[in-house]
Structures are given as structure tokens and as C-alpha cells.
Structure 1
Amino acid sequence: MSKDKKKKSLRYSLIRPISNEKWQPISIPFVSIIISFIAAAIVILLIGKNPLQAFYNLFQGAGILPKPSYAGYKSMLTDFLSLLNAMTPLVFASLAVAVAFRAGLFNIGVSGQMLVSGFLATIIVGYSGLDAIIAKPLVLLIGMVAGGLMGGLVGWLKYKFNINEVVTTIMLNYIAQYVISFFIQMYYIDPVSRQSKYISEAARLTLVNVEIANLKMDIPLGFILAIITAILIKFVMDKTVVGFEIKAVGNNRNAAKYAGIKVGRNTVLAMVISGGLAGLAGVTYYLGYFSSIQPKVLSSIGFDSIAVSLLGNSHPIGVIFSSFLVSIIDQGSTYMSSQAGIRQEISSVIIGLILLFSACGAYLKHKVSRLKEKEVDQKESES
């Protein structure tokens, strides 16, 4: 066999795992993750550390693998529940970005929508003294409505005045950040923590320090809701007229309009759904994972969700798995830093590499299709 044929044979064997178009939404992100971890391992080797040990410590810190020892009332289970608690708002936020992507929109204002929803739920319910059976569903309702209205405003401005949604959402992020900071510092500040006053336990969406079998664990009530929501969004997008119209508008607005689909209505509707999901992310973050709001700070989850949605191929089920992976890296970084002697910022490098390689998904699809065409042409010429 000649060298050229050997090279071609090797090239085809490398692309074969991602050549099946049916499985590309799963296989390409998976390959991107593997490549990013290899690249991260090279970075860790360059700073003189053992990458296998670092990754092992990363999974230990996230509750995926057991640690050598635990503090009182703690175990691998409590670490894993903390991981799910941190993951819950990220799933909602990433779904918000994914829905907007499906409609051809870029919702970069998830952080602002989270903040507005979290703040309104905090002052209306968090300080109200309502019983848990009323307070918790009301928090979720306020989150959805507040986020949906904010997202709907962005969609309406896009439809009515053709204002780019990226510009609108960035400006609304700043408005939300500083207006809410003013109200917190004027009326709701805690003099000790310099954050908003802590909400009542009845309004909190995470059950904190629940003692079971001599373990104190944080139980995220919103996690199951996040999984159900992802499944529901998949059903809506794949099996309903609304989902079909939103995707049609996202694929080609002019063709959708020619086919009789109301582009403006579906643009607004997509942003309402996206904003509502961002609102759920806000209440599970500010009234779940945390129990107060830090003034002048936008949650990084709103921006991390863009990477997570890209990695998950804007697919609701893919978003769950990509959120799980990014949460593992984020939650395990502190323990990795302390045990392996690697700076915590390496976790950000890993996430950045994952985003970089996942963004190359379209290029990989193009490259695979070109190589398959060449393979077919070569077989035809040989025959």
C-alpha cells in the first residue's frame, strides 16, 4: 500500500466515529470534549503536574469519585448533591440560550433576566413570611413571569423596530445590574454581609443541611423540575406546531414568512420562553443555590450557559449532559487545586478549551462530508 493510500485510510478511520449524520449531535460534542481534555492535559504537563492525578482530584471534588476522608456529616453523596444544586440553575439558563438559538436569536441577557427574576421573587416572597407550601411555587411563578416579560420585551423590540437582540440584552443587563443594586443598597442591605438580606427558609428552593443517616446535605428541589423542563422543551420543539414554526423562523426568516408563518409572533414567543427559562434559572440560583443577592454583580452562569448550550448542540437533552460536565469542572476545581497543587484557574482553561473545540462542530461536519464525498468519488473511479 502506498503512503498516500495509508494516509487516506488513517484519515477515514479517524472520522468514521463521527461520519454517521444521525449521531453527529452526540458524537461531535463527545469528540470535542475528548480533544479539549487532551489539550488540557498538555497544559497541565507543561506546568510540571500529573494530568491524570489532576483529573482524578477534579472528579473527587465534584462528588463523582470518593475522597480519602470527609469532614463530619459529609460524604461523597453530600458532595454530589452540592454538584446537582449548582447544576440546576445552569440547566435552566442553558435551555434559555438554546431556545433562543433555535429561533435564530442570541439571548446574551440571561444574567440580567436571572437577576430581575431573583430580585422580584426575593422581595415579594423571600421576605413575606409565607408558608413553604405557598412560597416555593410562588417563587417559581414569579421567576417565569418576570423573566418571560423581560425576554418578551427583547423579542418585541426585535420584531417592531428590528433592534438587534444582542444590543438590547446587553443594555438591559446593565440596567438590571445597577437599578437593582441601588434598591438593595438603599432598602434591603445586610450590614454584615453587604449583600441583600437573607430570605426565609420557606421561600428557598434548596433544602439546606437536611440531616439523613448522619449526613447533612443540601437537596435542590429545582433539579427534578429542570430535567422535566428539558424533556418538555424537547417535546415542544420536535412534536408541536409551535416548535416547528420557531425552528423554521430560526432557519430562514424569509422562507418562513413566505410559507405563511408569523415571524414576528414567533420571535416574541421564542424570547418569552427563553426569558421564562432564564427566570427559573434566576430563582433557583438566588433563592436556591444562594439565599441572597450581591449588589453590582451579574451571575457568571448567564454567560457560562452560552458555552454549555453550544456544547450541547442547543439540544435540550444535550444541555443536561453538558451542564453536568461543566458543573463537575467548576465544582471540582477547588479540591483539584488543593490536592494536585494546580491553580484553580486551570478549570476555566478546560471550560474554555471545551467551548473552543465545540465551536468547531460546524467545521467538523463540513470536513466529514467533504471526506465522505472524496471517498465515494475515489471508489467510483477505481470501479
Structure 2
Amino acid sequence: MNKDSKRKSLRHSLLWPISNEKWQPISIPLVSILISFFAAALVILFIGKNPLQAYYNLLQGAGIMPKPSYAGYKSMVTDFLSLLNAMTPLVFASLAVAVAFRAGLFNIGVSGQMLTSGFLATIIVGYSGLDAILAKPLVLVIGILAGGMMGGLVGWLKYKFNINEVVSTIMLNYIAQYVISFFIHMYFIDPVSRQSRYIDEAARLTLVNVEIANLKMDIPLGFILAILTAIIIKFVMDKTVVGFEIKAVGSNRNAAKYAGINVGRNTVLAMVMSGGLAGLAGVTYYLGYFSSIQPKVLSSIGFDSIAVSLLGNSHPIGVIFSSFLVSIIDQGSTYMSSQAGIRQEISSVIIGLILLFSACGAYMKHKVSRLKEKEVERKENES
């Protein structure tokens, strides 16, 4: 075998995991993750630390692997439930980004929609004193409505005036951030924490310090809803006329319009759905994972969700797994820092690398397609 043949054989063997088009939605993100962890391992080695030990500590901190010892009322189970609690709003936020992507839209305003929904649910229900049976469902309804209206406004501006959704969502982020900060400082500030006053436990979507088997657990009530929502979104996108029309508009607006699809209606509808999901992310974050709102601060989840959605290939089920991975990295970073002596910012480096290599997915598909075409041409020439 000559050198040229060996080189081609090596190249084909390296690209084999992503060569099957049927499995590319799964194989490309997995390859991206492996490459990003390898690149992060090189960074950890460069600073003189053991990457295997660091990754093991990461899993320990997230409740995936056991720690050598635990504080009172804590165990691996409580750490894992804390992971699910942090993961819940990320799943909703990532689904919001994924739905907008399907319609060819980029909802970068998830953080603002989260904040608006969380604030309205806080002042309407969180301070109302309502019983838990009424308060918790009402929080979810307000989250969906507030986020949906905010997203619908963006979709309407896009359709009616052709205002780019990236510009409008960024501007709405700033508006929500500073207007809500003003109202918190004027009417709802806690003089000690300098955040909004803590909400009633009856309105909170996370059951805090529930004692079971001598353990104090944080139970995220919204987690099961997040999984069910992902399944429903998949069904809507794959099996309904609405889902087909949204994807058609996202693929080619002109062709969709020529086929008789109402582009404006589906643009607004997609952003209403996206905003509603962002609203659920907001209430599970501000009235679940936390119980107050920090003024002038937008949640990073709204921006992390872009990376998570890309990693999950904008697929509802893929979003669940990518949210799980990113949550492990985020939740385990503190313990990794304390045990391995690695700065917590390394976790952000890992997530950034995952996003970088996930964004190369289109290039990977193009490269594989070109290699297949060349292989076909070579065989035709030989015959």
C-alpha cells in the first residue's frame, strides 16, 4: 500500500464515526464532546494538573460519583437532586432556543424573557400567600403567558416590520433588566440581601430541605414537566401540521410562502412557543432553583442555552442530554476546584470548547459529503 492509499485509509477511519448520515445527529455531537474534553485535558495538563482526576472530581461534585465524605444530612443522592434542580431551567431555556432555530429564528432574548416571567410570577403569586395547590400551577401559567407574549412581540416585529429578532431580543433584554431592577429597588427590595424579597415557600417550584431517610433533599417539581415538555415539543415538530409549517418556514421562507403556508403566522407562533418555554425556564429558575431575583443581573442560563441547543442539534431529546452534560460541568466545577486545585473557570473553558466544536458540525457534514463524492468519482474512473 503506497503512502497516498495509507493516508486515505487513515482519513476514512477517522471520519467513519460520522460518515453514516442516519447517525450524524448523534455521532457528530458525541465526537464534538470527545474532542472538547481532550482539548480541555491538554489545558489542564499545561497547568500541571491531572485531567483524569479533575474529571473524576467533576463527576463527584455533580452527584454522579460518590465523594469520600459528606456533611450532615447530605449524600450522593442529595447532590444528584441538586444537579437536576439546576438542570431544569436549562432544559426549558434550551428548548426555547431550539424551537426558534426550527423556524429559522435566533432567540437570544431568553434571559430577558426568563427575568420578566420570573418577576411577574414573583409579585403576583410569590408574595400573595396563596395555598401551594393554587400557587404552584398559577406560577407556571404566568410564566408561559408572560414569556409567550414577550416572544410573540419579537415575532410580530419580525413579520410586520422585518426587524431582526437578534436586535429586538437584545434590546428587550436591556429593557427588562433595568425596568425590573427599578421596581425591585423601589418596592420589593430585601434590605439585607439587596435582592428581591424571598417568595413564599408555597409558591416555590422546588421543595427545599425535604427530610427523607435522614437526608435533606431539594426536590425540583419542574424536572418531570421539563422532560414531558421536550417529548411534547418533539411530537408537535415531527407529527403535526403546525410543526411541519414551522420547519418549512425555517428552511425556506419564500418556498413556504409559495406553497401556501402563512409565514407571518408561523413566525409569530414559533416565537410565542419559544417565549413560553423561556417563561417556564424563568419561573423554575427564580421561583424554583432560587427564591429571589438579583437586580440588574440577567441569568447566564439564557446564554448557555444557545450552546446547549447547538450541542443537542436543536432536537428536543438531544437537548435533555446536552443539558445534563453542561449541568454536570457547571455543578461539579466547585468541588473540582477545591479537590484538584484547578480554578473554577476551567469549567467555562470546557463548555466553550464544546460550543466551538459543536459549531463545526456543519463543516464535519460537508467534509464527509465531499469525501464520499470523491470516493464515488474515483471508483467510476477506475471502472
Q: Same fold (TM over 0.5)?
A: yes
Aligned residue for 1:207, secondary structure, equals strand
> Separation in 2 of the partners of 1:122 and 1:17?
48
The 3-state SS of whatever aligns with 1:128 is coil
- Tell me the secondary structure at the aligned position of residue 248 of structure 1: helix
Structure 1 Cα separation of the partners of residues 47 and 212 of structure 2: 42
Q: How far apart, CA to CA, are the structure 1 residues paired with 2:87 and 2:151?
A: 22
Distance (whole Å) between structure 2 residues aligned to residue 368 and residue 200 of structure 1: 55
Q: Supply the distance in 1 between the matched residues of 2:23 and 2:143 (Cα, whole angstroms).
A: 35
Q: State how far apart, in whole Å, the 2-side matches of 1:315 and 1:381 are.
A: 40
What secondary structure is seen at the aligned counterpart in 2 of 1:194?
A: coil
| Aligned equivalents of 1:370, 1:213: Cα separation in 2 | 58
CA distance in 1, matches of 2:114, 2:262: 28
How high is the TM-score relative to the length of structure 2? 0.99
The whole-number CA distance in structure 2 between the counterparts of 1:147 and 1:101 is 17
Q: CA deviation at 1:378?
A: 2.0
Superposed CA offset, 1:25-73 (max 9, x none)? 1100000000000000000000000000000000100000000110000
Between the aligned partners of 2:73 and 2:228, the Cα distance in structure 1 is 30
For residues 284 and 298 of structure 2, what CA distance do their matches in structure 1 show?
15
Distance of 1:101 and 1:14 partners within structure 2? 30
User: Gaps spanning 5+ residues in structure 2: where?
Assistant: none
* Alignment correspondent of 1:132: 132
Residue 319 of structure 1 corresponds to which residue in structure 2? Answer: 319
**Offset of 1:17 from its aligned partner?**
1.1
| Offset of residue 373 of structure 1 | 1.3
Structure 1 unmatched runs, 5+: none
Distance 2:235 2:145 in 1: 21
Moved more, 16-25 or 36-45: 16-25
Shift of 1:14: 1.0
Per-residue CA shift, 1:248-276, capped at 9, x if unaligned?
00000000000000000000000000000
**How far apart are residue 197 of structure 1 and its match?**
0.3
Cα distance in 1 for partners of 2:54, 2:86 equals 21
SS for the counterpart of 1:107 is: coil
Deviation at 1:321, TM superposition (A): 0.4
Displacement of 1:381 in angstroms is 2.6
Number of residues of Structure 1 aligned to a counterpart in Structure 2: 383
SS in 1 for 2:326: helix
Q: Deviations over 1:171-224 (max 9, x none)?
A: 000000000000000000000100000000100000000000000010000000
Task: Report the alpha carbon displacement of residue 374 of structure 1 after superposing the two structures with TM.
Answer: 1.4
| Distance (whole Å) between structure 2 residues aligned to residue 38 and residue 381 of structure 1 | 39
Q: Give SS of 1:257's match.
A: helix
Distance of 1:360 and 1:341 partners within structure 2: 32
Give the superposition deviation at 1:382: 2.8
Shift of 1:16: 1.1
Structure 1 position 243, deviation (Å): 0.2
Counterpart secondary structure, 1:72:
coil
How far apart are 1:380 and its partner, in Å? 2.6
Say if 2:54 is the partner of 1:54: yes
- 1:277 Cα shift? 0.1
Aligned ranges for residues 150-229 of structure 1 at < 5 Å? 150-229=150-229
Residue of structure 2 equivalent to 1:245: 245
CA distance in 2 between counterparts of 1:27 and 1:114 reads: 32
Q: How far does residue 376 in structure 1 lie from its aligned partner after superposition?
A: 1.9
The alignment partner of 1:217 has SS state of strand
The TM-score normalised by the length of structure 1 is 0.99
d(CA) in 2 for partners of 1:164 and 1:4?
49
Deviations 1:104-125 (A, max 9, x none): 0000000000000000000000
What is the CA RMSD across the aligned residues, in angstroms? Answer: 0.5
